[in-house]
Chains A and B, each alone.
Chain A
Amino acid sequence: MNQLFLSLLGGIFISGVAGYLGTLMLSKRMSVVAGPLAHLALPGVALALIFGFSISLGAFPFVILGAILIWFLEKKTKLPMENLSAIIFASGVGTALLILPIGEAEEALSGNIMKITLPETLITIFLSIAVFYVITKIYKKMMLMNIFEDVAKTEGINISMCNLIYLLSIAVVVALGVYLVGGLITAALIAIPAATARNLSKGLFSYKVLAISFGITSSISGILISTYLLLPTGPLVILSGVALFLISIIFRKKIV
């Protein structure tokens, strides 16, 4: 199958679910958390490069482990998740700096969606849909928890379970994001579409739909531009997102 088609397909699914998840993370003021988790993927990516297996495969266990650690530490210490992520982040980068073969690190840093294979594309699509479904299930509960945790508890919401599912969803999206745009800028894949959508929406529905659309738009345009200009894809996906964000600022005042 055509490589460009596979790359576009993978990119669309990853960026769509990343944009959706981003709306929840922005409302929890946790957009930045994806960054540390993505950096935590770096040791896994390093191992993948050293032993020659898929970098997503290398990234997954580390990111999932990081998410579980954050969840566990939050329960134990009651420190904000955002702060705990910083600790996890440092461990990831520290380890990666020790073992990452710097010469081959470009893929780890800026992604390699242009080399995605058919099985990888299929797995990406499956995981994206699964995470999308799971986030939809916990969306309202998470939103209520973000606003008033005590009220959410009295409404019978299992806070701890929701948080775990939420962090695992972030972990999966981050690992996929590392594939699309690389470890350095995965956070942007999650944070920017949500920010753009928030600028333009008054209610929850348009917020979600716009974030998903902006995510998909930036990944399509990033992949196409990189194909024509022969420049790295990941950075162009993110810069497309930034461009949309800048445009949204102009329209912001008229809508809100």
Chain B
Amino acid sequence: MSILLEAKNLNIKFGKESVIENLSFSVNKGEVLTILGPNGAGKSVLLKSLLGLLPYEGEVAWHEKPKIGYLPQGLNQLRVKDLPLTVGDFFDLKNFSIKNKEVERFLKLVGLEKDILFKRAGDLSGGQFQRMLIAWVLISRPDVIFFDEPTTGIDIGGGETIYSLLHNISEKEKITIFLVTHDLNIVYRHSTHVLCLSRKGHYCFGSPKEILDPDALKEIFGTEIKLYEHNINKN
């Protein structure tokens, strides 16, 4: 498999505070990399730096120029609450024209009915809005997807549907996915690699099986994670 992205000696500062220090890792094409870590560890900041939205020191080398789809954390529905934008209009904001049939197909993939197309985006429930955003990112057929806690606010079944969908897409179309999530069950089942960031500036990188043992998790989160073993037993 070919290398898609290499990050070398990455240093990221947020204001004066150093968030990421000397981080190096690489991602191959078609991999699903989950970035794991407690709140404030710099997961979102890392994603933004890889996307070129935040300044960093060190090297981020993309080995090809991919078409990127990005869904930031907690995209605020309040921002569209007052706008006269239907779901259809929202898809129309893309820089290419999309047929309604195509939008309907993607809405269906994320578990939304097609009649939602004519509803105001601001009137959707939080979970519906989030599902719509995922469809919005996927419809551009990106080669690389950056998802920052994409299933926040989506019900349990819905989260499962969406991760299975992402998993299928990445396998079928060789899409590379960068994912931030706190759902260890998802990490274990759907990612090929895990990059963990802990508060101490201590990083680990490897397959989910290597990373997700109770001792390692305790190291990352600074507290015992019981949920994990319970989830593994179910598998």
Contacts and interface: CB of A to CB of B under 8 A. Distances in A.
Contact of A202 (B79, B84, B95, B140): B84
Interface string B97-132: 000000000000000000000101000000000000
A206 B84 contact: yes
Contact of A27 (B75, B83, B118, B120): B83
A148 B79 contact: yes
A153 interface: yes
A140 B95 CA distance: 8
Contact of B88 (A140, A153, A156, A203): A203
Give chain B's interface residue range (CB within 8 Å of chain A): 20 to 34
A73 interface: no
A111 to B, nearest CB: 30
B49 interface: no
A151 B70 CA distance: 6
Nearest to B72: A150
A141 B51 CA distance: 19
Given A147-B80, A148-B75, A203-B85, A154 B51 contact: yes
B68 interface: yes
B171 interface: no
Contacts of B75: 148, 151
A213 interface: no
Given A144-B93, A150-B72, A204 B53 contact: no
B84 A198 contact: yes
B53 A153 contact: yes
B213 interface: no
Contacts, number: 62
Contacts of B88: 203
B49 to A, nearest CB: 12
B32 to A, nearest CB: 19
Given A27-B83, A148-B75, A150-B48, A155 B53 contact: no
Contacts of A147: 79-80, 83, 93
B24 interface: no
A226 interface: no
Interface string A191-203: 0000001100111
Contacts of A156: 95
B21 interface: no
B170 to A, nearest CB: 18
Interface string B217-232: 0000000000000000
Interface residues of A, number: 25
A151 B82 CA distance: 20
Interface in B5-51: 48, 51
A155 B85 contact: no
Contact of A203 (B48, B86, B94): B86
Nearest to A194: B84
B53 A202 contact: no
Contacts of B143: none
Contacts of B59: none
Contacts of A150: 48, 51, 53, 70, 72
Contacts of A203: 84-86, 88-89, 118, 120
Given A143-B93, A147-B79, A202 B86 contact: yes
A-B pairs, top 9 by smallest CB distance, nearest first, are A204-B89, A207-B84, A154-B70, A203-B86, A201-B84, A144-B93, A140-B93, A147-B79, A154-B68
26 contacts: A140-B92, A143-B85, A143-B93, A146-B79, A147-B80, A147-B83, A147-B93, A148-B75, A148-B79, A151-B70, A151-B71, A155-B95, A155-B140, A157-B95, A201-B84, A202-B118, A202-B120, A203-B84, A203-B85, A203-B89, A203-B118, A203-B120, A204-B86, A204-B92, A205-B89, A207-B84
Given A203-B84, A205-B89, 8 more contacts: A141-B95, A144-B93, A151-B70, A154-B68, A155-B140, A198-B84, A202-B118, A204-B84
